[in-house]
Amino acid sequence: MNNTLKENMARSIFMMAAALSIVAVLIICIFIFSNGVPAIKEVGLFHFLFGISWDPEHGLYGIFPMIIGTLVVTAGALVFGVPLGILCAVFLVFYCPKKLRPKVNVIVNMMAGIPSVVYGFFGLVVLVPFIQTMTRTNGMGVLSASILLAVMILPTIISVSQTALSSVDKSYYEGARALGASHDRTVFKVMLPAAKSGILCAVILGLGRAVGETMAVMMVAGNQAIIPFGIFSGTRTLTSHIAMEMGYATDLHRQALIATAVVLFGFILIMNGIMTLVKRRMCHE
């Protein structure tokens, strides 16, 4: 076989692989839009997005409570997860004894591999009862879901921030130390800001994971289809909303759930858009 032929074959194999993944995404898009959009039309876009009650038996299909639920729980996860994750990455890169770092990283990577249902189970048997006894509420709700999600996005935030921090030019460190700055000051005033675009990337990836997470949230959030009224209030996210009802839904109910996936899809698109924008702006600075 001559080389040109070999090269052409290799190229077509790679092209097929690339095409296949793109086709998969396209098919998913077509599926959810073709099944979801009619339901949105029937319910009415405004009523669907901003309707505050979800009651399929009475023909009410408002997903506003779930949108708020998703936003609140995700925000909560970021509030707990982001500072913790970034500080952990800072520790690993700038403070950790050299021998310890790979060991900690093994554990961090292991955290990323634990199935989400296991996290959910942990939340259910440890976190929820703890919050129950501490606050005399039923324990399932925004706070539990946020804390649990925070733990779940930690590995993403830690490892991406760590990469960002270690790839900061070492000469910045020397430069700052030569000006008489202490190690701490150099780390927090020079190295950390220098890694900000990479760290932002870590936050957005964590955000993506938090928005998409279904199972664990479902197990600890209480799942009432109501707008959460406090941090101990039960809540339901878009993803768990779909997962919980899809099993028995039919007709318009079923279509409305698929339409919920359209909204979720929109969420992810907006997030990616923001990330691209922010990244571009940072590069131009």
Partner 1 sequence: MDKIEIQDLDLFYGNFQALRKINLRMKAHEVTALIGPSGCGKSTLLKSINRMNDLIENCHIEGKILVDGKNIDDEDVNLLRKKVGMVFQKANLFPMSIYDNVAYGPKTHGIKDKKRLDEIVECSLKQAAIWEEVKNDLKKSALALSGGQQQRLCIARALAIEPDVLLMDEPTSALDPISTAKVEELILQLKENYTIVIVTHNMQQALRIADQTAFFLQGKVIEFDRTQKIFNDPKEKKTRDYITGRFG
Residues of the shown chain interacting with partner 1 in the complex, contacts defined by CB under 8 A: 169, 171-172, 174-182, 185, 189-190, 193-194, 285
Query: Closest separation between CB of residue 285 and partner 1, Å?
Result: 6
Query: Closest separation between CB of residue 163 and partner 1, Å?
Result: 17
Shorter beta-carbon distance to partner 1: residue 83 or 193: 193
Query: Closest separation between CB of residue 201 and partner 1, Å?
Result: 16
- Record the tokens describing residue 72, joined without a space: 């609140």
Query: Closest separation between CB of residue 172 and partner 1, Å?
Result: 6
Instruction: Report the distance separating Cα 222 and Cα 128, nearest Å.
Output: 10
Shorter beta-carbon distance to partner 1: residue 97 or 113: 97
The 3-state secondary structure of the chain, one letter per residue? CCHHHHHHHHHHHHHHHHHHHHHHHHHHHHHHHHHHHHHHHHHCHHHHHHCCCEEHHHCEECCHHHHHHHHHHHHHHHHHHHHHHHHHHHHHHHHCCCCHHHHHHHHHHHHHHCCHHHHHHHHHHHHHHHHHHHHCCCCCCHHHHHHHHHHHHHHHHHHHHHHHHHCCCHHHHHHHHHCCCCHHHHHHHHHHHHCHHHHHHHHHHHHHHHHHCCHHHHHHCECCCCCCCCCCCCECCHHHHHHHHCCCCCHHHHHHHHHHHHHHHHHHHHHHHHHHHHHHHHHHC
Shorter beta-carbon distance to partner 1: residue 176 or 262: 176
Shorter beta-carbon distance to partner 1: residue 91 or 172: 172
Shorter beta-carbon distance to partner 1: residue 176 or 207: 176
Query: Closest separation between CB of residue 175 and partner 1, Å?
Result: 4
Query: Closest separation between CB of residue 15 and partner 1, Å?
Result: 38
Tokens 């020079």 locate to: 190
Nearest one of 151, 131, 153 to 141, comparing CA atoms: 131
Query: Closest separation between CB of residue 135 and partner 1, Å?
Result: 42
Shorter beta-carbon distance to partner 1: residue 84 or 181: 181
Instruction: Report the distance separating Cα 25 and Cα 107, nearest Å.
Output: 32
Shorter beta-carbon distance to partner 1: residue 103 or 189: 189
